[in-house]
Homo-oligomer: A and B are copies of this chain.
Amino acid sequence: MDKNKEYFMKIALQEAKKAALIQEVPIGAIVVYDGKIIGRGHNLREHSQNTIDHAEMVAIDEACRNLRSWRLADCDLYVTIEPCLMCAGAIINARVKNVYYGAPDYKAGAAESLYNVFNDSRLNHLVHAEGGILSTECGQIMKDFFKKARKKRKAQKRANMVEK
């Protein structure tokens, strides 16, 4: 495993942990240009109540503002979970060079699971995509989050029954 990729994925994981801390589905992303992080984001959808606020979109938004350009050519994006259609589309539209992700998303992933849009030569930009970077850690934080959420819901249900 490329040490550099692990280094940056660990930073994306830190972003994912920030999401977990505020009870958001723990996904984190960063955009890297010339070895520097120019965009960071974690999932904020529940807090902002905005559909668009997936980790990748927040990171892309910041990167565009930092570079003052909608083109993120020669940029790499690291994200802990395989991107969905919206985020993959944004990555293509932004002309991102490389996407590195951690764990696959079998229900909504657009890089390998349901679609493989980064490799679609009909589109005007191809993205090199590579999954499996710190896959276990990236997947585990999601599993822990959903396990905790289920436990909380069960406890709540029990409490409601006692009240009745």
Contact surface of A with B, Cβ cutoff 8 Å = 45-46, 48-54, 57, 60-61, 64-65, 68-72, 84-90, 92-94, 107-108, 110, 114-115, 117, 120, 122-124
Q: Is the CB of B123 within 8 A of A108?
A: yes
- For chain A, what secondary structure do more than half of its interface residues adopt (helix, strand, loop), or is it mixed? loop
Chain B residue numbers with a CB within 8 Å of A85 are 85-86, 88-89, 92, 110, 117, 123
Closest chain B residue to A120, Cβ basis: B114
Q: How far is the CA of A88 from the CA of B87 in the complex (A)?
A: 11
Given A52-B57, A86-B90, 5 extra CB contacts under 8 A = A51-B94, A52-B60, A85-B89, A86-B89, A115-B115
